[in-house]
Structure formats: C-alpha cells, structure tokens
Structure 1
Amino acid sequence: MFRKLKIRMMLMNLSIITVLMFIVFASIYLITYNKMQVAIANDLTRVASFHRGQPPEDSKPQTDLRSLENTETHSVNEKYPERTVSFTILTDGDRQMLSKNSFFDAEDAFYENALAAADNQQKETGIFSLEGNAWAYLVVNRGSDKLYAFIDITAQQSMLDRLMYTFIAVFVMTFIFIYFISLFLTKRSIQPIKDAFDKQRQFISDASHELKTPLAVIQTNVDVLLQNKKDLHEEDQKWLGYIQSEVQRMSNLTRDLLYLTQMSDDESQQLMHSPFDISDCIEKQMLGLEVVAFEKDIILQYALEPGLMMQGNAEQIAQIIIILMDNAIKYTPPKGQIALQLKQIAHTIQIEITNTGMGISPEDLPYIFDRFYRADKGRSRQNGSYGLGLSIAKAIVERHGGKINCTSNDGGNTQFLIKFKSL
C-alpha cells in the first residue's frame, strides 16, 4: 500500500515539474525562434531592396516569417551588412533568370538550383537546404517580373539546434536530479503515515491475540454449561445460547481482524506461491457449498473450465471462493439462483459469481470492499456479517496480482468478477 502511495506521489511531483520545465523551455525556444524569424525577414527585405538599387514596387508580400509586415522600408542607399551571405535573382514571368546580384562567387548551377528549390515550395517565403547550408528566401513581385532574395541562415539554424540540444541535456539532468530529490522527500513525507499505520496494525494484532484467550475460555465454559441442560432452566438455556452465539461471532471477528493485519503486513513479505490447478481448487469448494445451498433451497450452478493453472496460494484462493459464495448464499432468497463460472480468456483467468436477490444500491457499491462497511446493517447482523469478508477477499486478490470488482443494481442480480494471470 505504501509503495503504491510513494509511486503515486513521485509520479505526481515529476509530472508537475516536467510540465513546468517543458513550458519554460518551450517558451524560451519559441521566443528565440520568433526573434530569429523577424531578423531573417528584415534581412530578406533589405536584400530585396538592395538589388541594383531599386526598391520593390509593390507592397510588402504576405509571408510566414513573423513580423515581416511590420518591417520598415529601408533606404536604397543604406549600407548593407557585410556579415550576411546573400544574393538576389530577377526572373521574368516565365521564371527565366534575367539577372542576379551576389555578394559571393558561385557557379551558375548554384543559382539555378536555389531558384528551383524556391519555386518547388510554391510559397512567397520559406527555407530550404542547398549544398549543406540552410537558406531563406523571399519572392517580391516587380510588375511582370519577380525578384528572389536569398540569405544564408546556417548559423541561425545551428544556434537553434544547439539551443534544442542544450534544453534536452538540461531537461534530462534536471529530471534525474529531481527524481532523487522527490524520492527522498516522498519517503520523508509518508514515513509518519506509515508509522501511524504500523502502530494501528500492531495494536489490532495484539488486541486480537489477547482477545482469543478470554473468548476461548468463555466459549469453553458456556459449552460445558450447555452440556448439562437438564440442570438448567429454559430461560437460562436461552441466555447461554445468546452468549455462545456472540462469543462465536467475536471469535470470528478477531480471527478476521488478525488475518487482515497479516495480509496488510510489509509488502516485501512475499506469500508462498506455487503453481496449482485452480479448476480443481474451486471444484473442491463447490462440492461442500452445494449442501449449504440445498438446505436453503437455492439453485447452485457452476461451470469450470478444467486444467487451468495459475501461480499463487491455493488455500487463499479457496478462501476467496468461500467468502464470495457464503456472501451470495446469505443474500440470495429461497428459490433464488447462484452461478459460478471459471474460464480462461487469452492469458487471463476469470471467475464470475452471480446471484439473484435484492442487489446492491449504486450508493453502496463503491464501498462494499471497505472494512466494516455493510449496506444493510440490520440484515447483515442477522446473517452474522460484520463487513470484513469482502475486504479479506480483495486483499488476497491484490496480493496475487489480480483484480476484483462488483456490478449490481438495487433489486437485481449481483456479480463479482475476479481476474488472475494464468500460467
């Protein structure tokens, strides 16, 4: 239980911190990316304006590069920054090269490839890769002609890549650091809860052990008195019968409480598990339960798929069947029906126990596996139930790595479904 709690707390802490780090890193990256796009857009506009000293004739084109529409028109005589590796190409309406301006020497094939790469994208602006470098381009209409402006953005792209790798490295190292910090803090946080739970469990265990002896003494004395019925008045026999019934009930309660404390013991303490035939295990229990159902005029049907094997403790699996079947017999009226089915679906063994009767109301259904919870407290007391049987069944199922759930409706059938892994 505490292991699951620790895992949940760690997952919650790590999830929150991971989301926060992702938001921070993503925000920094997007801000840097947007600023870089604005700078590229400004450089492309300046390069286009610098072509033969002629500014673009039409209005600024719509582009995907952010903030281009806010770029100021630069003077034709403005000195172009020497740090930018760029060139321009002027084409006619058929996209044939008319002229080019370049700030570096390259073969004609290079310019033709750049022009083809820009045309293939069929956009007014974009980015492409050519000869190992990254290039951004902008297309400006000049009457029937088109001006293509290109700048080398390899350095900017490299900076973005380095920024991304840096974020990934920082994220991984931070995540590892936070994992160990969270592990330490989680252990410290749940330790007081664990100590309180251990003290409570120890108290229940000690109290159960201490109660066993006086209850056994009372039971023995009552049995001795009831054996001599001829010396007792009828009224005395009745009171002794009440005492015997309640002592037996108290003995069962202390036994179940002690069993629950043992089941919720340290999770590192493993059960004695071994492969066994669950079909044979359940069949043995059903043979004895048939007599009980017959005495209460209840129709009992069961279908068991033979030869199903699982890893676990056969005695505890048998106890689950006894608890659930006893519960079904208690709450099934005369002439009612109880059906048990054991089958294997893929790698899962399923046990279905269905009984007719009053059913369980939707309000009570989520709590039926809680300790001491009883939907109908008056009727439960008459049946000798005190709300621990289903808690024990759930504890055993979970210790075997299985799942148990219940479906029911008020005034209808009730079904318990148990799933285990098969061998």
Structure 2
Amino acid sequence: MIKKAQIKFVCLTMSILFGVFGVLFLTTTLISNAARQQNIENSLDTTVQNYLYLNDSNVYKSILVKITFDTETNKYERIIIGLDHKFFTQDQAERLVNNAIDSNYNKGKIGKICYKKYDLNHNSLLVLVDANDIYSVYSSSVLRTFLALSISFIVLFCIVYGMSYKIFKPIQDSFLSQKRFISNASHELKTPVAIISANADVLKQDSNPQWIDNIKSQTSRMSGLINDMLSLTKMDEGITKTNNENFCLSDEIVTATLPFDALAFERKKRLLINVEPDIFYHGDKACVNQIVNILLDNAIKHSDEQGEIFLELKKEKNKNVLTVFNTGSDVPTEQSHKVFERFYRSDSSRSRETGGSGLGLSIAKGIADLNKWKIRAESIQGESMTIIVTF
C-alpha cells in the first residue's frame, strides 16, 4: 500500500514536471524559430539595401535578380545582377531563380534557400539567400535545449524518487507498526479465546446453560473479529495471493448462497436469488465464495425486520455483475462510499445488536482490490442498501 502511494507520488510529481518542461521546451522552440525567421529577413533586406543605397551588387551567399518588363516583347526579363560564385554555380542560380518565380509567391523557400521579391517603381528585385548557417544555428539551439531539459528531468526524477523514500518513511513506519500491533494482538487473543471456549464447554455440562451460551456467543464473536483483523493484515501486507482457474460462476454463487436460506428463515427474512445460468469466469473461486458470504451476511444482519434480501448475477457488456440488495439502511446516501472503511458504523448500537464488527465490507473491498474487481455501494437511508460487484 505504501509502495503504491510512493509510486503514485513520484508519477504525479514527474507528470507535473514533464508538463512544465514541455511548455518550456515549446516556448523556447517558438522563440528560436521567430529569431531564425528574423535573421533570414534581415539577410534578405540587407542584400537589397546594399544594392539600392550603396549600389553594391557584391553579395554573400546570395543571388540578386532584377526583373523588368519589356514593353516591346511584352514579357518579363530576369537578369542576375549579383551572384556569390563560392556557393552557387550559374546553372544552380538560374534553376533556383526559375523555381522561385514559378512559385508565384512573393516569399518562400526552396530547401534551405530562402527568397523574397521586392517591388520597386518600374521593376522588381528577387533575392535568394543560402540560410544553411541560420538553420544549423537554430537546430543546434533546439537540440541543446532538448538535451538540457532531458538531463534536468532525469536528475529531478532521481531527486524526487530519492526524496519519496524520506517523505514516506514515517508513514511506512507508522503503518508497519500498526500492522504489527494488529497481527500480534490477534495472535495473542487467539489463545485465551480458545481457552475460554473450551472451559465454557466443560462448564455447560454442570452450570446454567444461559450464561455459558453467552460466553460461547461472545467468544465466537471475538474469534470472528480476530480472523477479520488477520485477513485485513494479510491483504495489507500483500501476503494473500489469488489462485485463478476457469469455473462456472453461476454454480459457485448458487452454492455459496445455500447456507443463507436457513439463516434468513431463522431471522424471519426473505432471501431471493436470481442467477443467470452458465456464466463462466477465470478467477479465484475461493474469493468469489468469500465475497458472496460477506455480502449476504451483511445484508441479512442489516436489513430491517421481516425484510427482503435479493441476490442477482447477470452478464452486462462482457462483464459479470453481482448485486446484493437488502431493504432497510441506516447509512446516509452521501456516506455510501464509507461503508467500506474499517470499523464504519452508521448506528453503533444496532451493529452491536446484530454482532457486526465493522470489518466485513472492508474485507470485501480488499478482496475486490486483490482481484481487480470493482465494488460500490448505493444506500437510500431508511429504504435500502445495494452492493454491486463487477468482475
């Protein structure tokens, strides 16, 4: 239980950090991309300004093209007036210029060659710039950011994981101490209970049976409480294991309900059963039997006088649904989920009358969690209680 809580804590913390780092990486990438676009624009603008204002047609990593309209031929003429021969051949330049003009866009890129068209009074200038260096700087910046954030994330994971042990250690110590106490107390109580029960059997032969029956009743109740405490302790410690097999769930549940017919009749209550036949299931047969016993025992104990208990098993959307309903409920509707808490009693005096310890439904919840079933309670105060288990 503590280990699961520790893992959840680490996962939640790292999920938040992952989101923060993701936003940080995205923001950094967008800023770098905007800076890259601005650098490209500056390179294009600088080439044009040098030509227009300084009459300088010497270009660096660029191609400068003058486009004019010939009124005699009624066609556009393109003249390469600036070319950096270190980076472009004449054929490459002409091919790039043709592609840029044919694209019909005022600006764009061909691979990592960016271009932009500037409209002047009677003609136009087309500038193409080799932006390989700018793209390389941008890629390196993004990669460095990614690596830095990744390393930081790994370091923080190690720190959070290590700190989680320190954070959860007091809780774990307290929890282990509590489990040891329950386990030790349960084992210590077993012996005197057994002795009292044995002595009561002897005394019953010579004494007033009423008093001896009271002793037997209370020792039986204490034994049940001890067994419940031990069951919960084993579940908390992860000792309980499932033994999964294929079996007929319908038959197993019908068999488990048979002993409760007599119990319900004895208490002047009515037990109804509706089990869909031939439902097969792969799971732990003993756990199914135990959870049915707990739910029916709880329903019979806490139903109203001459009340009705109804058990149903049916198939719903490839899921097996077990429902145990009883009339009468002291549990407020808003506290329905609390019935699975240990020692929960909506009416402690009534629980003592019925002999309940407040651990039965906690064990049922533990069995459901162990087998990865879903269990929930629906209470209508003063009217009914329904427990639903989904296999």
Q: Could you say which TM-score interval applies, normalised by the shorter chain?
A: 0.7 to 0.9
Structure 1 position 106 matched with structure 2 position 83: no
C-alpha distance 335-181 of structure 1, shift in aligned 2 (>3 A): closer
Which of 352, 362, 366 is 1:395 aligned to? 366
Find out whether 1:382 has 2:353 as its counterpart.
yes
Distance 1:28 1:358, change over 3 A: same
Q: Partner of 2:164 in structure 1?
A: 186
What corresponds to 1:35 in structure 2?
A: 35
Q: CA deviation at 1:219?
A: 3.1
Is this contact kept in 1: 2:21–2:149, CA < 8 A? yes
The offset of 1:89, in angstroms, is: 4.8
Whether the 8 Å CA contact 1:47–1:86 is kept in 2: the answer is no
Secondary structure in 2 matching 1:306: coil
Amino acid at match of 2:82: S
* Structure 2 residue corresponding to 1:273, chosen from 216, 229, 243: 243
- 8 Å CA contact 2:36–2:138 kept in 1: the answer is no
Paired-residue identity, %: 27
SS in 1 for 2:356: coil
Instruction: Give the C-alpha shift of residue 238 in structure 1.
Output: 6.0
Residue in 2 aligned with 1:4? Answer: 4
Cα distance in 2 for partners of 1:95, 1:297 equals: 104
Structure 1 counterpart of 2:226, from 254, 263, 266: 254
In the alignment, is the contact (CA less than 8 A) between 1:283 and 1:304 conserved in 2? no
Residue 355 of structure 1 contacts residue 414 of structure 1 at CA under 8 Å; is this kept in 2? yes
Most deviating of 217-226 and 274-283: 217-226
Q: Secondary structure at the match of 2:345?
A: coil
Counterpart Cα distance in 2 of 1:393 and 1:27:
50
State the 1:15 CA deviation: 1.9
CA contact (8 A) 1:46 1:80 kept: no
Whether contact under 8 Å (1:349, 1:419) holds in the other structure is yes
Q: Render the CA deviation track for 1:271-306: whole Å, top value 9, x for unaligned.
A: 151314133321211222233334433241221342
Residue identity opposite 1:196 in structure 2: S
> Hey, what does 1:354 align to over in structure 2?
325
Alignment partners' CA distance in 2, 1:413 and 1:97: 92
| Alpha-carbon distance between aligned partners in 1 of 2:368 and 2:125, rounded to the nearest angstrom | 75
In 2, Cα distance between equivalents of 1:322 and 1:95: 96
Q: Is the 8 A contact 1:118 1:137 kept in 2?
A: no
**Greater Cα offset, 369-378 or 333-342:** 333-342
Q: Is the 8 A contact 1:47 1:88 kept in 2?
A: no
Match of 2:195 among 217, 224, 229: 217
Query: Pairwise mapping of residues 224-263 of structure 1 onto structure 2 (< 5 A)?
Result: 224-228=202-206, 232=208, 242-263=214-235
Instruction: Return the alpha-carbon distance in structure 2 between the equivalents of residues 319 and 252 of structure 1.
Output: 14
Distance 1:99 1:410, change over 3 A: farther
Provide the rounded CA distance (Å) in 1 between the counterparts of 2:57 and 2:346. Answer: 85
- Conserved 8 A contact 2:100-2:115: no
- Cα shift at 1:349: 3.5
Distance 1:211 1:111, change over 3 A: same
Structure 1 CA distance for aligned equivalents of residues 55 and 211 of structure 2:
113
C-alpha deviation, 1:180, in angstroms:
4.1
Would the alpha carbon gap of residues 214 and 270 (structure 1) be closer, same or farther in structure 2, given more than 3 Å must change? closer
- Name the counterpart of 1:62: none
1:361: how far off? Answer: 2.2
Q: Give the AA of the match of 1:85.
A: S
8 Å CA contact 1:293–1:300 kept in 2: the answer is no
Question: 2:303 touches 2:328 (CA, 8 Å); kept in 1?
Answer: yes
Distance in 1 separating the partners of 2:350 and 2:58: 92
Cα separation, 2, equivalents of 1:377 and 1:96? 98
Do 1:92 and 1:146's aligned partners in 2 also have CA atoms closer than 8 Å? no
1:340 and 1:351 in contact (8 A); partners too: yes
Distance in 2, matches of 1:403 and 1:275, equals: 19
Instruction: Answer yes or no: is the 8 Å Cα contact 2:309–2:326 preserved in 1.
Output: yes
Identify the residue that residue 103 of structure 2 maps to in structure 1.
Answer: 117
Instruction: Tell whether the 8 Å contact from 1:343 to 1:349 is kept in structure 2 after alignment.
Output: yes
* Contact in 1 for aligned 2:330/2:346 (Cα 8 Å): no
Deviation at 1:201, TM superposition (A): 0.7
Pair 1:304-2:256 in alignment: no
Aligned position for 1:324: 295
Q: Is the CA contact (8 Å cut-off) linking 1:293 and 1:329 kept in structure 2?
A: yes
Normalised by the length of structure 2, the TM-score is 0.83
C-alpha contact 2:333 2:378 (8 A) present in aligned 1? no
- Greater Cα shift, 399-408 or 6-15: 399-408
Which of 312, 330, 342 is the aligned partner of 1:340?
312
Name the residue aligned to 1:198: 176
In 2, Cα distance between equivalents of 1:189 and 1:159: 44
Aligned to 1:60: none
TM-score calculated relative to the size of structure 1: 0.77
Structure 2 stretches lacking a partner, 5+ long: none
* Equivalent AA in structure 2 for residue 199 of structure 1: S
Aligned length: 379
1:221 Cα shift?
A: 3.4
